[in-house]
Amino acid sequence: MEPAIVDGVPDYSPPALDRRSQALAKARSALAAVDRARLDPATSIDADLLEAEMNGLDFQLRVLRPWSRDPGFYATIWSEQSDVPAHEGPNAPVIDLWRYSYPLSASDATTLDARLAKIPALLDAARVNLASSQAHDLFAYGARAFHDQAEMLAQLEAGTLDLRSLAGHRRADLSGEGQRLLPAIRAAREASERFAKWIEAETPRRTGPSGVGRTAYDWAARHVYLSPYDWAAQEVLLKRELSRAWAGLALEEVHNRTLPPLAMPEDPVAFDRRSLQKAERFTQFLIDRGMVADRPWYRAAVPAQLVRYRGPAQRDFFGHVVAQDPLPLYSHFYHWIELARMAHEPHADPIRQGPLPFNIWQDRSEGVATAMEELAMQAGLYDDLPRGRELVWIMLANRAARGLASLYVQANRMTLAEAGRFHARWTPRGWSDPDSRLVGFEQLLYLRQPGYGASYIVGKVQLDDLLARQAERASRAGKPFDAAATIAMLAQPGIMPLSLVERALDAGAAAH
């Protein structure tokens, strides 16, 4: 349910929010009137999705209230397509620069100019909307997004902005019709810098907690994300995966102790050539194992996101990983294969066609991508590269550490600074710097979007559970279990909570 627009600016005033609450109540009443016991399995799943969406809006209105608590909600200009179905975290309506073709047509130039011209008014309204917020960490880390937005706009104005989407990378060329955007771009850039300075000035007097607390977290986990795991269970799962990852790494290092270390070429051209070979190897591996169908758009998806050379001084955590071997990160880029499926083979059901709102897809999307790192390893991706297995364990430890820290932030047991230090301490080999832009970005996102930090592990565990149950049922029935075919079938029900994915798979099996 999109906000009302008044003079081109989203309206988050109390009367506007009251109207959204009233509309939500009517929608709930309409769904409650449906006799869901009489629905067929597919329609029953759709009803559960609609209810989760309503619960997502309810959570936003009652608890999260990002328009009145979170300055980052108003960072709305994006040069990159997210690798998940929609942008992570809560945001006011965004301006996706990557969606446009460049040089701009006259029509697109008019549309984009009008939208950019409203950025100063949006940020003026944000100051009013955020007046009563006491969420200290959301303010303490909130200015970064607007410094980044201002820099993005400066690059757009200079003609040097790199855009990233499913199709790969390209430049935003403002020649021709794009020249009319220059005044609006400058005004939006200046407004972004002013807003960043306002956030910085306001931070000392915003002294309250920023996490939603365990009770609210548990409600969202159950009713929005349809997860079987509450905060306490997630803590246990993430601790277990963190220990398993460290132990797995230690034993891999024993196994590989006589082997030379991994290393990619230090020459940028040679690195990029080898990196492309790794991307193509991963895609071919999935196709050969039967996990992904052989389609042109699947073959193109991961190589289009080529991981390029970064020198030692520019390496964050993932930079350290790919300097040894990009294969583990390309395994996580399974995300882009799923986006290619959404673009080229959209689900027939309109409710499941596009991204579910409120990041309801987070456990499913991030969990499956994280699981793919280990699933590909177990299926043989590193049979001739045994030291590559070490990197898989290191990435799992990093994801478990940062997710565990995010749980403590939501419970108001850690500040973001403390979370960053925990995140770095429990990442092997000292590859995570608590003061890096990456760690700050990740922990802020996980604060802004409850459950996202844990979703990589929580979703992975749910997928493990699903595969285990499917294998056990096949065993009881005396039938062979094809894990690769089951992974391939995950796509059929759509990108939705794994509890519903399993219901859909079971219903499909029963029908046959």
Query: pLDDT (tens digit, 9 = 90+) per residue, 367-417?
Result: 999 999 999 999 999 999 999 999 999 999 999 999 999 999 999 999 999
279-317 per-position pLDDT tens digit = 999 999 999 999 999 999 999 999 999 999 999 999 999
CA pair distance 163, 177, nearest whole angstrom: 18
How far is the C-alpha of 194 from the C-alpha of 191, rounded, in Å? 5
In terms of DSSP H, where are the helices of 224-267? 231-255
Residue 36 DSSP symbol: G
Whether the pLDDT of residue 348 is over 90: the answer is yes
The whole-number pLDDT of residue 135 equals 98
Dihedral of alpha carbons 137, 150, 125, 448, sign: negative
* Per-domain boundaries in the chain: 71-205, 214-463
Residue 512 above 90 pLDDT? no
- pLDDT grade, residue 19 (50/70/90)? very high
CB atoms within 10 A of CB 311: 10
Among 441, 366, 406, smallest CA distance to 242 is for 406
Cα→Cα distances 229→24, 361, 434, 502, Å:
26, 15, 28, 16
In whole angstroms, give the CA distance from residue 67 to residue 13.
9
- What average pLDDT does the chain have? 97
Q: Pick from 151, 150, 252, 240: which is nearest to 192 by CA?
A: 150
Query: How far apart (Å, rounded) are the C-alpha atoms in residues 296 and 276?
Result: 16
Q: If you compute the radius of gyration of the chain from its CA atoms, what whole number of angstroms results?
A: 23
Q: Over the stretch 147-168, which tens digit does the pLDDT of each residue have? A: 999 999 999 999 999 999 999 9
pLDDT tier, 1 (very low <50, low <70, confident <90, very high otherwise): low
Mean pLDDT of 172-181: 97
Check whether 262 has a pLDDT greater than 80: yes
Burial 432-471 (b: 16+ CB within 10 A, else e): bbbebebbbebbbbbbbbbbbbbbbbbbbbbbeebbeebe
Q: Average the pLDDT over 503-507 and give the result.
A: 90
Is 479's pLDDT higher than 80? yes
Task: Tell if the pTM clears 0.85, that is, is over it.
Answer: yes
Query: Can you tell me the distance from the alpha carbon of 28 to that of 51, in angstroms, rounded to the nearest whole number?
Result: 8
Alpha carbons 354 and 491: distance in angstroms, whole number: 13
**Quick check: helix, strand or coil at residue 182?**
helix
Q: Which two tokens stand for residue 249?
A: 């790494």
What is the amino acid identity at position 187? A
| Cβ-Cβ contacts under 8 Å for 86 (sequence gap 6 or more) | 355, 357, 359, 361
Q: How many CB atoms lie within 10 A of CB 472?
A: 11
Segment 468-482 shows an average pLDDT of 94
Residues in contact with 511: Cβ distance below 8 Å, sequence separation at least 6, in sequence order: none
In which band, very low, low, confident or very high, does the pLDDT at 2 lie, cut at 50, 70 and 90? confident
Interior angle at CA 318, CA 365 and CA 156, nearest 5: 80
Least confident of 37-51, 388-402, 449-463, 494-508: 494-508
The token pair that represents 162 in the structure block: 């790199």
Q: Which residue has the tokens 């609006």?
A: 184
Q: Helix (H) and strand (E) counts for the chain?
A: 23, 6
Tell me: pLDDT of 97 over 90.
yes
Best CA proximity match to 305, nearest among 271, 334, 268: 334
Whether the ω angle into residue 312 lies within 30 degrees of 0, i.e. cis, is: no
- Amino acid, res. 323: A
- How many CB atoms within 10 Å of residue 211? 23
CA distance 229 to 435: 31
Distance CA 172, CA 156 (A): 7
339: number of CA atoms within 13 Å, CB side? 23
Name the pLDDT band for 486 (thresholds 50, 70, 90). very high
Alpha carbons 149 and 122: distance in angstroms, whole number: 14
pLDDT at 508: 78
**How far is Cα 338 from Cα 335, in angstroms, rounded to an integer?**
5
Q: How many CB atoms lie within 10 A of CB 14?
A: 8
Confidence of residue 225 (pLDDT cuts 50, 70, 90): very high
